[in-house]
Amino acid sequence: MFILVNLKAYPCDPIEVATAARDVAEDSDVRIAVSPQAADVARVADTGVETWAQHVDPNGHGSHTGSTLAESVAEAGAVGTLINHSEKRLKLADIDGAVRAAERAGLETCVCANNPTQIGAAAALGPDSVAVEPPELIGGDVSVATADPGIVEDAVAAAGAVDSDVDVFCGAGISDGDDVATAGELGATGILLASGVAKADDPRAALEALVEPL
């Protein structure tokens, strides 16, 4: 099971979370990554934790003021990137372009989508993984695996029908080890979460609770 912690733009200490994630990953032998804001990618990567970007744009080098280059985050130490998070939606053509840009830079890719239909469309673009995250559950206390387990199973089926090599992650509302275990039972190979760790008083304790049943 892969645990990807998205720090969004929360007022947390990215180094504290990164260090906790690195240590828990080493102690538990569970793959854990942290996705900080672009300005913090290099600092987070320097801790030794697996580091992902929150977004990359579809363009390469050139006159693209304000864009986040896949090459730049890779040079800063990121090894993967989220694409099309519910808070950073892209047009389908730009999702495809971002996946291609990430591939050129050697980044692993996870394309987020709202529902199984969109998961199937995202899987057709050939990312390494897709994450199903109903917007109404993001940032809440109820996980998609608990509130609507069928959507996770349907997402796994939708991705598998298009490309069996694309992993399916479960996002939205994941907050404890029971959610992680349930997501795995439903066919997900990873989870995507944010507030459960980024807003925790003790990020290490929150991460230890997540990996406890694994």
- To the query of whether residue 64 is one of the catalytic residues in this protein, the response is no
Among left, alpha and beta (phi > 0; psi -120 to 50; other), residue 35 is beta
DSSP run (H or E) holding 204 = helix 203-211
Residue among 16, 71, 85, 185 flagged as catalytic: 85
SS (H, E, C) 39-72: HHHHHHHCCCCEEEECCCCCCCCCCCCCCCCHHH
3-class DSSP state of 80: strand
Whether residue 185 lies in the annotated active site: no
Of the candidates 186, 81, 175, 174, the one whose C-alpha atom is nearest the C-alpha of residue 133 is 174
**Active-site hit among 133, 136, 208, 212:** 133
Q: Which residues lie across from 35 on neighbouring strands?
A: 6
Task: Provide the 3-class DSSP secondary structure of residue 17.
Answer: helix
Residue 134 region by backbone torsions, left for phi larger than 0, else alpha for psi between -120 and 50, else beta: beta
Nearest partner of 140 among 86, 188, 90, 96, judged by Cα = 86
Rounded Cα gap, residues 20 and 97, in angstroms:
33
Enzyme catalytic residues? 85, 133
